[in-house]
Amino acid sequence: MNRTNLYEIILCNKGFGVYIKSMSVQPLRQPANPDALRILQKTYGYGAFRGEQEDIINHVTSGGNAFVLMPTGGGKSLCYQIPSLLRHGVGVIVSPLIALMQNQVEALKLLGIRAAAINSTITGGSIVQTKEAILRGEIDLVYVAPERLLMDDFLGLLDEAPIALFAIDEAHCVSQWGHDFRPHYKELALLAERYPSIPRIALTATADAPTRRDIVDCLKLKEGRTFIAGFDRPNIHYSILPRDNARQQILKFIRDNHAEDSGIVYCLSRKTTEETAMWLCTEGFRALPYHAGLPADMRAQHQEIFLKEEKVIMVATIAFGMGIDKPDVRFVAHMNIPKNIEAYYQETGRAGRDGLPSNALMVYGAQDAAMQRNFITESNAPEQQKRIEHQKLNALLGLCEAASCRRQVILDYFGDSCEPCGNCDTCQNPPQTFDGTVVAQKALSCIYRTGQRFGVSYLTDVLMGKDDERIKQFGHDKISTFGIGKDYAKSEWQGIFRQLVSLNLVAPDTEHGGLAMTPQGQSFLKEKKTLALRKHEGRGKVKAARKEAARQAFGESESDHGLYAALKAARMELAKEQGVPPYYIFNDKTLRDMVLLKPDNMERMALVHGIGEKKLERYGKMFVKIVKEYV
C-alpha cells in the first residue's frame, strides 16, 4: 500500500492531523516538485505536505523570497529545510537562541541531514572545521545568531561560500511592534542588499497586521510572496479564570489533567517563579525554575532536563520558551496575564506541538493589568509605541472578559475566524450573561460626549459622577452622561469597557491613548441592537479539558496501553544512551501511530508517520521486535 494513502486514512479515521487553513494573499500554486515530496517522505517520514507547505517550498526552491506566518507545530521548519536540501549550497538559518541551536542540529543529524551551528559556545577549532566544510559544500544547514551573521568575518565567509538561502526564524523579533523586539534583527536588511540573488524566507508563529507589515518592510520582502496560514490550534483547549487562589487553581488544574505530563507554568516575576517551583516540588511534582536572573549554567541545565526528561514542569518567566521544539508539552499555565494576545498565543502554542490534545490555562486579576500598564508607562519606548502596547493589553483583557468563544476572540484579533469551537471554557460552560444593551449605550455615549480621547478610569469616574477637579475643568460634570452609571461598581465598569473592546465596539485611539468608538460601535448606537455581556463571577472552575481524549487517543485496549508504555520506555533508553531528548528518536505521535498500525516487519514500520530512511535503518528492528511481542 502507498504510504501516502495509508497515512491519509489514519488522519481521517483518527483525527490526528493539524490542518492549516490557507489564507495566502497570492494563491497562485507552484508546480508540484517530486524531489521535495521524495525528501519529505524518505528523510522526514511524512506522507504528504500540509496546508501551504508545498507552495512555500516550491516558491523558495525556485529562488523566490517569502514571508511565512504559520502557527507553532504547523511545520515552518520544513519550509526552509527542504529548499536548503534541494538548492545548491548551504542554508543559513538565523535563530535568536544559541542554547537551542545544538539541539536542532542533533535532531537534523539523526535524519541524515548535514547540519552545524556556529556560535560562542563552540570551540574555535570546531568553528574552523565547520567553515571549511561550508566552503567545500559539505554542510546542508548552518544555524547562527543574528549577531554572529553580522560579524565581518562571517559575512566574508558567506561572500565566498555557495549559499542556498537565508532563513530568518522568529521574524517577529525584527519589529518594534512585536512582543520580543531585538535590535540586531533589523540589521538583517543588509542580506537583501549584499546577496540580492539569494532567496530569503522570514518565518514566525505570531504577528498581528502591523507587525507583519513591519517585518516585510524591514527585511525588504515586499517583492516576495506572503503566506499566512490559519491561526487556529484546534488541539489546544483554552481556559481563563478570575484569580481566586492562583496556586490552588493551578495545582488543581495540573492534578486533574496533567499529573503525569510535562508542562510550563509562566509567572510574571523572578521571585514568584522560584517560589512556585519550590512549592510545586513540595506538592509532589518535579518542577524547575527558569528566569534571566539565574546563572547561565543553571538555566542551561534546567532547560536540558526539561527537554530530555519526562514529567518535568518548567516554572518560568517569558525568558523561557522561544524556539523550544519539545513536542510533548501537554499544558501551559499562566499565573499572571502576559503582555498581549501575541505573547499569549505564542506561549500557549508551546503546548501540543505534536497536534495531540493539550491545555492552556490562564489565571488573571486586576493587579496583573495594573502591573502590565505600569511596565508600559515606565518603559523608555516612544509614546506612540506605548499607546499601541496599551491597546494590545486592552485586547488581552477583552479576551479575559469575553462571554463568547475564546478561540473566536483570539482568531479575530489576528484577522482569522472560526465557528464556536466547543473546546474552550466558555463554549463548554457558558458564563452567565445579562442584557448589556443599556449599559453599553451609556458607555459609548460617554465616550462620544467626552471627545473620544479619555481612558477607562476617567470615563468610569464621569459615569459614576465623581467629584473631581479634572472632570470639572473639562466641563464633563455638565454632560448628560455624568453620574448615570452609579448603579455599577468601578470594577464592573472596567469589565464592561474591556468587553466592549473585545467586541470591537470600542478601540483605544493610537493618537491620544483614550477610547474611541469603532464603526461597529457607531452602528450599534444607531441601530439600537441588543447586547449580552458577561457577569462578573467571584470564582471559576476548570472543566477537565480533553483529558479523556488525550488518554484514549488510540483506544481502550489494555494491550494498546501496554504497548505504548513499552515503546516509550525503549525510546527513553535510547535517548539516554545518545544524550538527546526522547522525541528526537520518535515523538509521541509516531509512537501512537505504531500502536495503531502495529507494524510487525520493517516494510510496515516504514509506513509509520515520522519514520524516514535513517531512523528506520537505525531504530526499526528494535521497535518491530517490541511490537511483535504485543501482537
* pLDDT above 90: residue 250: yes
Angle among Cα 489, 493, 496 to the nearest 5 degrees reads 140
* pLDDT above 60: residue 233: yes
- Report pLDDT digits (tens) over 116-127: 999 888 888 999
Distance CA 167, CA 175 (A): 16
Average pLDDT over residues 530-559: 61
Average pLDDT over residues 320-342: 87
Whether 442 contacts 481, CB under 8 Å: yes
Q: What integer pLDDT is reported at residue 373 of this predicted model? A: 78
Q: What integer pLDDT is reported at residue 384 of this predicted model? A: 82
pLDDT band, very low/low/confident/very high, at 2 (cuts 50, 70, 90): very low
* pLDDT above 90: residue 29: no
pTM of the full structure: 0.75
Whether 587 contacts 610, CB under 8 Å: yes
* pLDDT above 80: residue 78: yes
* pLDDT above 80: residue 68: yes
Lowest-pLDDT range of 155-169, 327-341, 507-521: 507-521
Average pLDDT over residues 198-207: 90
Average pLDDT over residues 329-340: 94
Q: First-to-last CA distance in the chain?
A: 21
Average pLDDT over residues 547-570: 72
Q: What integer pLDDT is reported at residue 513 of this predicted model? A: 63
* pLDDT above 60: residue 25: no
DSSP letter at 44 equals: I
- Please state the separation of Cα 295 from the chain's center in Å: 26
* DSSP calls for 26-63: S-PPPPP-HHHHHHIIIII--SS--TTHHHHHHHHHTT
CATH T-level assignment (fold) for domain 18-228: Rossmann fold (3.40.50)
Q: Where are the domains of the chain?
A: 18-228, 236-364+402-428, 433-534, 556-630
Where does 556-630 sit in CATH, by number? 1.10.150.80
* pLDDT above 50: residue 16: no
Helix axes 152-160, 124-135, angle to 10 degrees: 30
Q: With pLDDT > 90 as the criterion, what percentage of the chain qualifies?
A: 58
Cβ-based neighbours of 4, under 8 Å, separated by 6 or more: 41, 47, 48
- Report pLDDT digits (tens) over 156-192: 999 999 999 999 998 888 876 555 667 788 899 999 9
pLDDT band, very low/low/confident/very high, at 14 (cuts 50, 70, 90): very low
- Fold matches, 236-364+402-428 and 433-534: no
Q: What integer pLDDT is reported at residue 277 of this predicted model? A: 97
Lowest-pLDDT range of 92-101, 444-453, 459-468, 496-505: 496-505
Q: Which residue has the cell 527542504?
A: 82
Q: Is domain 433-534 classified as CATH 1.10.10.10?
A: yes
Q: What integer pLDDT is reported at residue 467 of this predicted model? A: 94
Whether 40 contacts 612, CB under 8 Å: no
Tell me what the pLDDT averaged over the chain comes to.
Answer: 86
* pLDDT above 90: residue 33: no
- Report pLDDT digits (tens) over 261-290: 999 999 989 999 999 999 999 999 999 999
Q: What integer pLDDT is reported at residue 7 of this predicted model? A: 32
- Report pLDDT digits (tens) over 412-438: 888 888 899 999 999 999 988 899 999
Q: Which residue has the cell 539523526?
A: 110
Lowest-pLDDT range of 125-134, 204-213, 214-223: 204-213
Q: What integer pLDDT is reported at residue 510 of this predicted model? A: 54
Q: What integer pLDDT is reported at residue 202 of this predicted model? A: 95
Whether 181 contacts 173, CB under 8 Å: yes
pLDDT band, very low/low/confident/very high, at 556 (cuts 50, 70, 90): low
**CATH architecture of the domain covering 236-364+402-428:** 3-Layer(aba) Sandwich (3.40)
Distance CA 76, CA 343 (A): 18
Q: What does residue 290 show for φ and ψ, rounded to 5 degrees? A: -150, 115
pLDDT band, very low/low/confident/very high, at 58 (cuts 50, 70, 90): very high
Q: With pLDDT > 70 as the criterion, what percentage of the chain qualifies?
A: 88
Lowest-pLDDT range of 445-454, 465-474, 553-562: 553-562
Furthest-apart CA pair in the chain: how many Å?
Answer: 84
pLDDT band, very low/low/confident/very high, at 135 (cuts 50, 70, 90): very high
| Single-letter amino acid code for the residue at 41 | Q
- Please state the separation of Cα 290 from the chain's center in Å: 19
Whether 288 contacts 302, CB under 8 Å: yes
| Nine cell digits for residue 403 | 462571554
